[in-house]
Amino acid sequence: MRLVSVDMITPDMTLAFPVYCKDALVINAGKDNMSRYIPNLINMGIQYVYVEDGLSEGIEIPDAITVKTRHNCKHVLRNTMQEYVESSDVKLYHLSDSIENVINEVLENKDIQVSLNDIGTLDEHTYLHSVNVSVYSLLIGRGLNYSRKKLEELAMGTMLHDIGKTMIEPSIQFKEGKLTNQEYEQIKKHAEIGYYILSKSSKLPEAAKKIALNHHERLDGSGYPKKKEGIELHEYDRIAAIADVYDALTSDRCYKKKWSAAEAVNFLIENSGTMFSPELVQVFIQQIAIFPNGSLVSLSDGSIGIIKDQNRHVPLRPIVRIIRDAEGMEITPYEVDLMKVLSLTITDSQLEIGNQTEKRVEVEYL
């Protein structure tokens, strides 16, 4: 199994994970001759899919939760947010049940480094993003040996961290290209709006509610809306900030292309101690695959490969299945364990898009 961009799909590929559009299953896993679906995928705004082909045979891409649990959680979260818009009441009972399932699966999968990015349409990225942020936050909480109660608080707060966006104009949220200063100020209001919405619920602890308000705050006071810093931020807020930025960077948005996991991790590391808590960043990167299984990479000798598997405690040196030589010619695939061949290193991830200047501009909107 491997992740490919839609324009790389060939007739011999079979879909490995189902594709949903809102609550509808539009292409089920196992569909072959994937090239016939390219126009539909493009129309839905889906730019990457997971496929099975001869090059990726036997490669597994682990996730902290199952596809079924993830889809169910998105469905319940969408209904929760839509019910608020209609009734001005945040009903948490269905969401609580979904979160219990998410926590159970995260705790059961302690020995995997998460590789999977969820695939969905751009117009539902708020729900995709919220579920991902909750899962990433739980991975950090698990690494900190949080109690069940603290995991539940963290999961609920992060699942609802962007509920304030229900009150932001869709034309601004989904605008392609750079926001004007006025539009950006409107987007920033979602943090305070979200906290106001959640403050009316008696079933959420205050620390969980504050995640909506503070997930864009930074240790050095450079965030928003209140420019809080350091000890003013609860640990939940600092965890959510890391999870939120990582998922935003590694996901397609209407105004930007996704970054590779490696580049997003580098961004977190570069800004540790200023924007992000260094100790929490370290816990986080121990839980994820910096070079995810199924992703294309180039090596220092010029060859191209697909990540086959991870070396658990050495994330920069995974096992790579080489598929092209230094001249770009297809070869009979063979595997290299970078823990055993120390002369080789990964030099690039083939999913990196754009240049550094463009990406730094995009980060302003996270």
pTM score, two decimals? 0.90
- pLDDT tens digit at each of 366 positions of the chain: 888 888 889 888 999 988 877 667 888 889 998 888 888 888 887 878 889 999 999 999 888 898 889 889 999 999 999 888 888 888 888 899 999 999 999 999 887 888 766 666 655 678 889 999 999 999 999 999 999 999 999 999 999 999 999 899 888 888 877 888 999 999 999 999 999 999 988 889 999 999 999 999 999 999 999 999 999 999 999 999 999 999 999 887 666 677 888 999 999 999 999 999 999 999 999 999 999 999 899 999 999 999 999 998 888 999 999 999 999 899 999 999 999 999 999 998 864 333 333 444 445 445
Contact 139, 153 (CB under 8 A): no
Q: How far apart are CA 294 and CA 320, in angstroms?
A: 9
Q: Using the structure block, give the residue that is written with the tokens 């129309």.
A: 43
Q: What is the pLDDT of residue 352?
A: 39
> Domain residues of the chain, as ranges?
2-56, 67-290+354-363, 296-349
In what side-by-side order are the strands of the sheet with 48-52?
2-5, 48-52, 14-15
Q: How far apart are CA 140 and CA 221, in angstroms?
A: 22
Please choose, from the candidates 123, 195, 121, the residue with its C-alpha nearest in 3D space to the C-alpha of residue 161: 195
Q: What is the pLDDT of residue 301?
A: 95
Contact 239, 335 (CB under 8 A): no
Q: What is the pLDDT of residue 114?
A: 83
Q: What is the pLDDT of residue 354?
A: 33
User: In terms of CATH architecture, what is 2-56?
Assistant: Alpha-Beta Complex (3.90)
Q: What is the pLDDT of residue 185?
A: 93
Q: What is the pLDDT of residue 111?
A: 77
Please choose, from the candidates 128, 92, 124, 136, the residue with its C-alpha nearest in 3D space to the C-alpha of residue 265: 136
Contact 159, 130 (CB under 8 A): yes
CATH classification (class only), 67-290+354-363: mainly alpha
